[in-house]
């Protein structure tokens, strides 16, 4: 049985008040809260175990290295990669996508080559490709969603031409909650010789992920959304693609030997991890993945699906709320506007007075907002520790905002 009360006790921040009200944290799409085991692991690593990794032969360095490197296997298991050598550590999805852009795409693309994006992409999966457009003449092709926010995989597949080199696509929209059929897209893309990068920042938090089943070439994870520390993350790179990549950042640890006339690079994945890494952040990420796995990824997904369905039901009774993204299998993410109301920022401020934390703005999805003809939305996004009682508080706060602005 999923014991949400016990889970909530594991997250100390959920016991606090905001503006004199119990905190209702519905900003998980931006960043999730941290369980005590992650906080303790970070504190212990800094207080009793800290040293730089890989370079030392002393006890603390070996201990830190063992704990740090163990996370590579945990990430591989979490997304079912074939081997831990397909996992590259980084600071999160933004760095991961930039690495793929510079290490893999840039050396093999030229003016006129194409990258396909959906209109739902986060700026982290747009701006790096604009770099290639601006600097190399690469063409970005966009695929729209329908009125419900659904993305037809066939529309993505139909956009492929002989000049297409990469499809870069979200697995779950951070605005609409739409879940994309990345497996079908990947299968068809590979038949045409096109690589696929999947932005898993949202999906990996809310549903089990199997990169071998998906078949994608690159899959990106962000630690701070996975109940881990900020500045932690990883990218899965299929071994065959890893062999095609050149180093992204140069420095220590990614080399075997440096002379005045040349460099011998380290083996992958170390080849792509220059300098002192986020040691403690990565250790914390490993503990967060252990925590999620301990609760059960399928169980978390089922709990959040029940929260989604309950929220859909409650919002249906508010005819002055317009929800963007209404696909039935969406994640527990609700972006909305209020009829006749002030700006989304004003709505968010009223909700905050009731202790309800939501996000307001464009959610780093400018092209999607333009497509929906909106300047901004409010977004309530749910996590493993949220409850139906909190949804009721959220609905009450919305009704207060409507009374003030409606």
Which residues does 295 contact at the CB level (< 8 Å), separation at least 6? Answer: 2, 7, 384
Bridge pairing between strands 359-361 and 377-381: antiparallel
| Distance separating alpha carbons of residues 348 and 358, to the nearest angstrom | 6
| Distance separating alpha carbons of residues 360 and 343, to the nearest angstrom | 9
Residue with tokens 């997904």: 301
> Quick check: is 365 catalytic?
no
DSSP labels, 223-283: GGGTTS-TT-EEEEE-HHHHTTPPPSS-STTSEEEE-SS-EEEPPTTGGG--SS--HHHHH
| Distance separating alpha carbons of residues 213 and 368, to the nearest angstrom | 28
User: Which one from 216, 220, 364, 378 is the annotated catalytic residue?
Assistant: 364
CA dihedral 322, 328, 331, 334 (to 10 degrees): 10
3-state SS of 272-301 is HCCCCCCHHHHHHHHHHHHHHHHHCHHHHH
Count of H-run helices and E-run strands, the chain: 16, 17
> Do 69 and 269 meet the contact criterion of CB atoms below 8 Å apart?
no
Residues belonging to the active site: 364
């Amino acid at each position: 049985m999923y014991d949400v009360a016990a889970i909530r006790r594991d997250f100390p921040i959920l016991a606090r008040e905001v503006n004199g009200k119990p905190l209702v944290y519905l900003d998980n799409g931006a960043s999730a809260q941290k369980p005590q085991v992650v906080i303790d692991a970070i504190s212990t690593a800094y207080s009793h175990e800290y040293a730089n990794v890989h370079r030392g032969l002393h006890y603390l360095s070996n201990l830190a290295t063992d704990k740090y490197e163990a996370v590579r296997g945990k990430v591989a298991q979490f997304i079912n990669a074939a081997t831990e050598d397909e996992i590259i550590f980084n600071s999160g999805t933004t760095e991961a996508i930039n690495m793929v852009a510079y290490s893999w795409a840039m050396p093999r693309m030229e003016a006129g080559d194409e990258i396909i994006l959906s209109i739902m992409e986060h700026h982290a999966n747009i701006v790096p490709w604009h770099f290639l457009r601006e600097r190399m003449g690469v063409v970005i092709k966009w695929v729209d969603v329908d009125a419900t926010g659904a993305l037809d995989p066939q529309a993505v597949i139909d956009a492929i031409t002989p000049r297409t080199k990469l499809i870069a696509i979200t697995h779950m929209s951070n605005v609409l909650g739409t879940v994309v059929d990345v497996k079908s897209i990947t299968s068809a893309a590979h038949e045409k010789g096109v690589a696929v990068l999947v932005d898993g920042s949202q999906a990996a938090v809310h549903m089990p992920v199997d990169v071998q089943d998906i078949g994608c070439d690159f899959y990106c994870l962000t630690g701070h959304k996975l109940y881990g520390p900020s500045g932690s993350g990883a990218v899965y790179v299929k071994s065959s693609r890893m062999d095609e990549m050149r180093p992204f950042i140069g420095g220590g640890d990614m080399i075997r030997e440096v002379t005045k006339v040349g460099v011998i690079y380290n083996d992958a994945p170390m080849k792509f991890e220059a300098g002192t890494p986020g040691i403690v952040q990565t250790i914390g990420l490993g503990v967060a993945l252990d925590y999620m796995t301990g609760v059960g990824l399928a169980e978390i997904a089922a709990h959040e699906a029940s929260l989604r369905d309950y929220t859909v039901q409650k919002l249906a009774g508010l005819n002055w709320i317009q929800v963007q993204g209404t696909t039935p299998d969406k994640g527990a993410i609700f972006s909305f506007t209020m009829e006749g109301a002030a700006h989304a920022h004003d709505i968010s401020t009223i909700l905050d007075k009731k202790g309800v934390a939501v996000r307001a703005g464009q959610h780093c999805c400018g092209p999607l907002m333009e497509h929906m003809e909106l300047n901004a939305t409010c977004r309530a996004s749910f996590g493993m520790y949220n409850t139906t009682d909190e949804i009721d508080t959220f609905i009450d706060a919305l009704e207060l905002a409507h009374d003030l602005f409606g």
